[in-house]
Structure 1
């Protein structure tokens, strides 16, 4: 029997997921950053600032920003002098990031189309690996985590920013109503794409909870793992070290 994986609330053949997710991000690439502001009320900017503070990028460090798409995380890390490679499986997302970098006069970034499950880089290439709001869209999360571990130097660090499940009483119910009812309508109004944003919300609900995902990071070989919930776990920063 063929392997099935989640695609929003559906279960589909694993071989289909990368293509279907790729189609979604091709559809939303042009309006991706505008929609992030609309969906989060601009709060995604604060979450990303906090994330990069935890990463602590240093001048000259080699950092791989996976699923880096439109460059939001990479721009912040490059401002600290890090040498950042921005990778994404979707070329349209990378194209938006390259255009944004040109508009801002940001150079020195490396842009590379990569599959998180099968990176082309050699073992021990990077000092840090970051992925923000991307790992839940990977077909085989365990493979992506194993690849992150492989391409890091010993002493290298892994940081992941991802949606999770808020544990604040009352807020969870309100957020569920907002995300399932209003976010797809925002997608329709702003990006002309209701279905893609319905999938993105459903993919959050199918993603492992904080303890389960931390366990997956440990199983990939990382030590000293940590979870930092934001807004009660609506968003979480996961980290680990290759030692």
Structure 2
């Protein structure tokens, strides 16, 4: 049987180095700088031993601000310190959001900068010609000439991205579940979307419980207000 090659639990790279520390093996990813301990016995935050392994979404932004789910990774979490994420997965099979950081395995990035690239030969270029640009204040005196980027009847995904940009720090989990429930490409004007936004507390009560319910309800109410302020619903 061939030996198993370790992979980074954050980026999946196999460029891994390790060293023995306190009777455990400390692994270091050469690609992303993540460090973790193989065979760690307890939570890195509280020292507890009730650890679980649950999936976490992996996303990318291939075009502008559009977020696409490209896969999942397995993350070790603590039943106590990561209780919100554990509860959402055990009760609703909801993976951890992409930006979630496990308290059981604190994410650390190697602060040592990468070695500099080999010096490149400087190219001799002629001076650039001076370009006279119009005063932007004068150009925008005419209201019709000013650019506008106002969304009208956006999809659920577009509205959620706009809301997260305007009000960072909201509960990403309830927004992911809301998008999955009504469809990320559904328009806010569609009946099923308007029904959920009009009865946010009822929808949260059906999908959340315990300590996560209040935070989820606050976030969904704030999202509904955000949509109403922009005349989207």
TM-score range, shorter chain: under 0.3
TM-score (norm 1): 0.22
Q: Which has the higher helix share?
A: 1
TM-score (norm 2): 0.22
RCO greater where, 1 or 2, for CA within 8 Å and sep 6 or more?
Answer: 1
